[in-house]
């Protein structure tokens, strides 16, 4: 399973035609001459060839799952939820479903999801599992604290989501019963 997930992630971050920075892994889809530097393969229909499209943003600053990626990453960080949750479940849902922000449904099954991911547990009724707000907050902030081998991105430690956005995602998850 781990190799399959790694293969899936590497398929997304793949094998590069051109490297501009030796610190980046050689299998990162990166072309310094392109506007956003990060590129995606697009199979040409019935041609057996790949065309390269620009990704919507430069992803080269983010750590990859490549075994070649030796760049330093943020250490796992334990946090305490301070005060009441005060999250907005509707905004949390928008973040969870946004492929450029939380993108939770890439790995989890969520309500309204046309084709949920299988990398993480289904979260259809996570709000009825009895987890505290503080527990879910830590899981979203940095799951590596509980599971160092997780594939879940450390949204808080890497600064992908703000504290309030994580509170909103937790409020959304707690609403799923």
Structure tokens at 79: 């946090």
Q: Both 46 and 97 in a single domain?
A: no
Q: Report pLDDT digits (tens) over 100-142.
A: 889 998 899 999 888 888 889 999 999 999 999 999 999 999 9
Q: Are residues 93 and 159 in the same domain?
A: yes
pLDDT digits (tens, 9 = 90+) for 59-99: 787 777 788 888 888 899 999 999 999 999 999 999 999 98
What is the pLDDT at residue 29?
Answer: 86
Angle at which helix 163-175 crosses helix 133-142, to 10 degrees, equals 120
Q: Tell me which residue of 5, 11, 25 sits closest to 107, measured CA to CA.
A: 5
Q: Could you tell me if 57 and 70 are in contact, meaning their C-beta atoms sit under 8 angstroms apart?
A: no
Same domain (yes/no): 96, 43: no
Domain containing 113: what range?
Answer: 89-175
Asked whether the beta carbons of 80 and 160 are under 8 A apart, the reply is: no
**Is residue 135 in a domain?**
yes
């Amino acid at each position: 399973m781990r190799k399959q997930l790694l293969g899936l992630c590497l398929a997304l971050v793949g094998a590069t035609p051109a490297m501009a920075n030796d610190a980046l892994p050689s299998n990162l889809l990166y072309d310094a001459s392109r506007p956003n530097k990060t590129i995606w393969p697009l199979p040409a229909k019935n041609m057996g060839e790949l065309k390269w499209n620009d990704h919507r943003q430069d992803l080269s600053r983010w750590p990859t799952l490549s075994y070649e990626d030796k760049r330093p990453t943020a250490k796992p960080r334990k946090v305490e939820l301070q005060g009441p949750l005060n999250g907005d479940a509707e905004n949390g849902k928008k973040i969870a479903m946004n492929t450029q922000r939380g993108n939770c449904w890439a790995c989890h099954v969520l309500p309204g999801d046309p084709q949920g991911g299988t990398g993480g547990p289904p979260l259809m009724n996570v709000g009825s599992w009895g987890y505290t707000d503080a527990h879910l907050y830590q899981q979203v902030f940095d799951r590596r604290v509980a599971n160092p081998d997780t594939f879940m991105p450390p949204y808080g430690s890497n600064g992908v989501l703000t504290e309030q956005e994580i509170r909103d995602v937790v409020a959304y998850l707690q609403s799923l019963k």
